[in-house]
Amino acid sequence: MIESKISLRYVPIFFELEDEDLKVIENAGITRRFQKNMVILDESKEESSGLFIITKGSVKVTRNDSKGNEIILAILNEFDYFGEMSLLDGQPPSANVISTENTEVFFIGREEFMQLIQSRPKIMASLLDEVIKRLRAADDKIKSLSLNKAKDKIIGAVIQLAVISGVRKHGLVELNLPFQHEIANMAGTSRETVSRVLHALHKKGLVELEGSIIRIPEYDNFKKVHS
Protein backbone atom coordinates (compact mmCIF):
# COMPACT_ATOMS: atom_id res chain seq x y z
CA MET A 1 0.00 0.00 0.00
CA ILE A 2 1.21 3.50 -0.86
CA GLU A 3 0.90 5.75 2.20
CA SER A 4 0.22 9.43 1.59
CA LYS A 5 2.23 11.66 3.90
CA ILE A 6 -0.73 14.05 4.16
CA SER A 7 -3.34 11.30 4.68
CA LEU A 8 -5.59 12.14 1.73
CA ARG A 9 -7.39 8.87 2.45
CA TYR A 10 -9.26 10.64 5.29
CA VAL A 11 -10.62 13.42 3.06
CA PRO A 12 -14.31 12.72 2.21
CA ILE A 13 -13.78 13.54 -1.47
CA PHE A 14 -11.13 10.84 -1.79
CA PHE A 15 -12.63 8.02 0.30
CA GLU A 16 -13.24 5.76 -2.70
CA LEU A 17 -10.02 6.39 -4.61
CA GLU A 18 -7.17 3.92 -5.04
CA ASP A 19 -3.83 4.52 -3.32
CA GLU A 20 -2.20 5.20 -6.68
CA ASP A 21 -4.70 7.97 -7.39
CA LEU A 22 -4.04 9.50 -3.99
CA LYS A 23 -0.32 9.60 -4.70
CA VAL A 24 -0.90 11.35 -8.03
CA ILE A 25 -3.09 13.95 -6.30
CA GLU A 26 -0.47 14.50 -3.62
CA ASN A 27 2.20 15.15 -6.26
CA ALA A 28 -0.05 17.68 -8.02
CA GLY A 29 -0.48 19.95 -4.99
CA ILE A 30 1.51 22.01 -2.52
CA THR A 31 1.33 22.74 1.21
CA ARG A 32 0.52 26.25 2.37
CA ARG A 33 0.85 27.52 5.94
CA PHE A 34 -1.15 30.29 7.59
CA GLN A 35 -0.83 31.95 10.97
CA LYS A 36 -3.89 32.42 13.17
CA ASN A 37 -6.44 34.97 11.87
CA MET A 38 -4.96 35.07 8.36
CA VAL A 39 -7.32 35.37 5.38
CA ILE A 40 -6.97 32.31 3.17
CA LEU A 41 -9.74 33.25 0.75
CA ASP A 42 -11.31 36.68 0.28
CA GLU A 43 -14.69 36.86 -1.46
CA SER A 44 -14.03 40.45 -2.54
CA LYS A 45 -10.95 39.56 -4.57
CA GLU A 46 -10.29 37.76 -7.80
CA GLU A 47 -8.10 34.91 -6.65
CA SER A 48 -6.66 31.85 -8.29
CA SER A 49 -9.16 29.04 -7.78
CA GLY A 50 -8.38 25.61 -6.46
CA LEU A 51 -9.15 22.99 -3.88
CA PHE A 52 -8.01 23.50 -0.27
CA ILE A 53 -7.72 20.56 2.14
CA ILE A 54 -7.02 21.28 5.80
CA THR A 55 -4.19 19.06 7.02
CA LYS A 56 -3.64 20.85 10.32
CA GLY A 57 -5.57 23.45 12.29
CA SER A 58 -9.00 24.91 11.56
CA VAL A 59 -10.71 27.72 9.66
CA LYS A 60 -13.96 29.65 9.72
CA VAL A 61 -16.06 30.32 6.63
CA THR A 62 -17.66 33.76 6.81
CA ARG A 63 -19.60 36.42 4.95
CA ASN A 64 -20.28 40.03 5.87
CA ASP A 65 -23.80 41.41 6.12
CA SER A 66 -24.91 44.79 4.78
CA LYS A 67 -23.59 46.49 7.92
CA GLY A 68 -20.19 44.83 7.68
CA ASN A 69 -20.81 42.40 10.53
CA GLU A 70 -19.18 39.00 10.25
CA ILE A 71 -21.50 36.02 9.91
CA ILE A 72 -19.89 32.62 10.50
CA LEU A 73 -21.28 30.05 8.09
CA ALA A 74 -19.15 27.08 9.15
CA ILE A 75 -16.12 25.94 11.11
CA LEU A 76 -13.89 23.46 9.24
CA ASN A 77 -11.26 21.22 10.79
CA GLU A 78 -8.61 18.70 9.80
CA PHE A 79 -9.44 16.81 6.55
CA ASP A 80 -12.31 19.15 5.73
CA TYR A 81 -12.03 20.96 2.41
CA PHE A 82 -13.17 24.16 0.71
CA GLY A 83 -12.91 25.90 -2.65
CA GLU A 84 -14.59 23.08 -4.56
CA MET A 85 -17.12 25.35 -6.31
CA SER A 86 -14.44 27.71 -7.62
CA LEU A 87 -12.44 24.66 -8.61
CA LEU A 88 -15.28 23.56 -10.87
CA ASP A 89 -16.42 26.87 -12.38
CA GLY A 90 -13.32 29.06 -12.08
CA GLN A 91 -15.29 31.85 -10.41
CA PRO A 92 -14.16 33.88 -7.35
CA PRO A 93 -14.93 32.43 -3.90
CA SER A 94 -18.44 32.95 -2.54
CA ALA A 95 -17.24 33.43 1.06
CA ASN A 96 -14.23 34.36 3.15
CA VAL A 97 -12.08 31.68 4.76
CA ILE A 98 -9.98 32.70 7.78
CA SER A 99 -7.66 30.56 9.91
CA THR A 100 -8.73 30.28 13.55
CA GLU A 101 -5.34 28.89 14.61
CA ASN A 102 -2.02 28.13 12.94
CA THR A 103 -3.16 26.11 9.95
CA GLU A 104 -1.75 24.08 7.10
CA VAL A 105 -3.66 23.36 3.90
CA PHE A 106 -2.92 21.18 0.92
CA PHE A 107 -3.72 23.17 -2.22
CA ILE A 108 -4.37 21.95 -5.77
CA GLY A 109 -4.76 24.71 -8.33
CA ARG A 110 -7.59 24.53 -10.86
CA GLU A 111 -5.27 24.18 -13.82
CA GLU A 112 -3.37 21.32 -12.18
CA PHE A 113 -6.63 19.64 -11.17
CA MET A 114 -8.05 19.84 -14.70
CA GLN A 115 -4.91 18.25 -16.08
CA LEU A 116 -5.18 15.57 -13.43
CA ILE A 117 -8.73 14.51 -14.27
CA GLN A 118 -7.96 14.13 -17.97
CA SER A 119 -5.96 11.02 -17.19
CA ARG A 120 -7.94 9.98 -14.09
CA PRO A 121 -11.63 10.89 -14.61
CA LYS A 122 -12.75 8.98 -11.51
CA ILE A 123 -11.15 11.73 -9.42
CA MET A 124 -13.67 14.19 -10.89
CA ALA A 125 -16.48 11.66 -10.39
CA SER A 126 -15.52 11.38 -6.73
CA LEU A 127 -15.44 15.16 -6.33
CA LEU A 128 -18.82 15.62 -8.01
CA ASP A 129 -20.37 12.94 -5.82
CA GLU A 130 -19.21 14.75 -2.69
CA VAL A 131 -20.28 18.17 -4.01
CA ILE A 132 -23.77 16.81 -4.73
CA LYS A 133 -23.98 15.56 -1.14
CA ARG A 134 -23.11 19.05 0.10
CA LEU A 135 -25.68 20.65 -2.21
CA ARG A 136 -28.38 18.26 -1.02
CA ALA A 137 -27.51 19.03 2.60
CA ALA A 138 -27.67 22.77 1.84
CA ASP A 139 -31.02 22.29 0.09
CA ASP A 140 -32.41 20.42 3.11
CA LYS A 141 -31.25 23.25 5.36
CA ILE A 142 -32.92 25.87 3.15
CA LYS A 143 -36.16 23.88 3.17
CA SER A 144 -35.98 23.62 6.95
CA LEU A 145 -35.43 27.36 7.31
CA SER A 146 -38.29 28.07 4.88
CA LEU A 147 -40.62 25.82 6.84
CA ASN A 148 -39.69 27.52 10.11
CA LYS A 149 -40.40 30.91 8.53
CA ALA A 150 -43.74 29.63 7.25
CA LYS A 151 -44.49 28.20 10.69
CA ASP A 152 -44.10 31.63 12.30
CA LYS A 153 -46.43 33.19 9.72
CA ILE A 154 -49.04 30.47 10.13
CA ILE A 155 -49.02 30.76 13.92
CA GLY A 156 -49.36 34.53 13.54
CA ALA A 157 -52.38 34.02 11.28
CA VAL A 158 -53.98 31.62 13.76
CA ILE A 159 -53.53 34.17 16.56
CA GLN A 160 -55.05 36.90 14.40
CA LEU A 161 -58.06 34.74 13.61
CA ALA A 162 -58.37 33.82 17.29
CA VAL A 163 -58.58 37.52 18.17
CA ILE A 164 -61.14 38.19 15.43
CA SER A 165 -63.43 35.18 15.66
CA GLY A 166 -62.19 32.86 18.39
CA VAL A 167 -64.46 31.72 21.21
CA ARG A 168 -62.81 31.77 24.63
CA LYS A 169 -63.74 29.10 27.17
CA HIS A 170 -61.85 29.03 30.48
CA GLY A 171 -58.49 29.93 28.95
CA LEU A 172 -59.09 27.83 25.88
CA VAL A 173 -59.78 29.47 22.52
CA GLU A 174 -61.69 27.64 19.83
CA LEU A 175 -61.71 28.47 16.12
CA ASN A 176 -64.00 27.05 13.48
CA LEU A 177 -62.13 27.19 10.17
CA PRO A 178 -63.83 25.08 7.51
CA PHE A 179 -61.21 26.08 4.94
CA GLN A 180 -57.48 26.07 5.71
CA HIS A 181 -56.90 28.35 2.72
CA GLU A 182 -57.98 31.25 4.98
CA ILE A 183 -54.84 30.70 7.07
CA ALA A 184 -52.80 29.99 3.94
CA ASN A 185 -53.85 33.28 2.35
CA MET A 186 -53.06 35.25 5.49
CA ALA A 187 -49.67 33.56 5.87
CA GLY A 188 -48.82 33.71 2.18
CA THR A 189 -48.21 29.96 1.97
CA SER A 190 -49.89 26.78 0.73
CA ARG A 191 -52.69 24.77 2.35
CA GLU A 192 -50.33 21.77 2.43
CA THR A 193 -47.82 23.76 4.49
CA VAL A 194 -50.61 24.95 6.82
CA SER A 195 -51.68 21.34 7.33
CA ARG A 196 -48.11 20.21 8.12
CA VAL A 197 -47.57 23.03 10.62
CA LEU A 198 -50.93 22.52 12.37
CA HIS A 199 -50.32 18.79 12.73
CA ALA A 200 -46.81 19.47 14.06
CA LEU A 201 -48.33 21.83 16.67
CA HIS A 202 -50.92 19.18 17.47
CA LYS A 203 -48.23 16.55 18.11
CA LYS A 204 -46.55 18.94 20.54
CA GLY A 205 -49.83 19.46 22.38
CA LEU A 206 -49.97 23.16 21.54
CA VAL A 207 -53.24 22.91 19.62
CA GLU A 208 -56.07 20.40 19.31
CA LEU A 209 -57.54 19.53 15.92
CA GLU A 210 -61.04 18.18 15.38
CA GLY A 211 -62.28 18.40 11.82
CA SER A 212 -62.41 22.10 10.95
CA ILE A 213 -62.08 23.11 14.60
CA ILE A 214 -58.78 24.32 16.09
CA ARG A 215 -58.53 24.60 19.86
CA ILE A 216 -55.68 26.35 21.65
CA PRO A 217 -55.73 24.96 25.24
CA GLU A 218 -53.50 27.60 26.84
CA TYR A 219 -54.18 30.52 24.55
CA ASP A 220 -52.65 33.34 26.61
CA ASN A 221 -49.37 31.47 26.99
CA PHE A 222 -49.45 30.39 23.34
CA LYS A 223 -49.97 34.00 22.23
CA LYS A 224 -47.23 35.27 24.56
CA VAL A 225 -44.66 32.75 23.31
CA HIS A 226 -45.41 33.17 19.62
CA SER A 227 -46.20 36.87 19.33
Kindly report, residue by residue over 156-210, the tens digit of the pLDDT: 888 877 877 778 877 788 888 766 777 887 777 788 888 888 888 899 888 889 8
Contact assessment for residue 83 and residue 51, using Cβ atoms and an 8 Å cutoff:
yes
Same domain, 25 and 113: yes
Residue 164 CA to its chain's centroid (Å): 38
**pLDDT category, 31, cuts 50, 70, 90?**
very high
Instruction: Determine the Cα–Cα distance for residues 85 and 87; give it in Å rounded to an integer.
Output: 5
158: domain range? Answer: 148-226
**Domain CATH code at residue 92:** 2.60.120.10
Same domain, 109 and 63: yes
The answer to whether residue 225 scores a pLDDT higher than 90 is no
Domains in the chain, number = 2
Residue-level pLDDT at 4: 41
Evaluate the CA torsion angle 167, 172, 177, 181 in order and state its sign: positive
Query: pLDDT per residue over 37-87, tens digit each?
Result: 999 998 877 666 888 999 999 999 888 777 777 787 788 888 888 988 887
Residue-level pLDDT at 143: 65
Q: Is residue 163 part of a domain?
A: yes
CA distances from 3 to 24, 26, 85, 107 (A): 12, 11, 28, 19
Identity at 103, one-letter amino acid code: T
Instruction: Determine the Cα–Cα distance for residues 225 and 115; give it in Å rounded to an integer.
Output: 58
Same domain, 39 and 95: yes
**pLDDT category, 227, cuts 50, 70, 90?**
low
CA distances from 8 to 16, 134, 136, 217, 221 (A): 11, 19, 24, 57, 54
Same domain, 114 and 160: no
Q: Is residue 127 part of a domain?
A: no
Residue-level pLDDT at 1: 32
Same domain, 87 and 154: no
Q: Which residue has the higher pLDDT, 7 or 23?
A: 23
The answer to whether residue 2 scores a pLDDT higher than 50 is no
Q: Is residue 68 part of a domain?
A: yes
Same domain, 99 and 199: no
Query: pLDDT per residue over 107-147, tens digit each?
Result: 998 888 888 888 778 777 877 887 787 777 766 666 655 66
The answer to whether residue 211 scores a pLDDT higher than 60 is yes
Assessment of whether the complete model's pTM goes beyond 0.85? no
Same domain, 39 and 101: yes
Q: Is residue 14 part of a domain?
A: yes
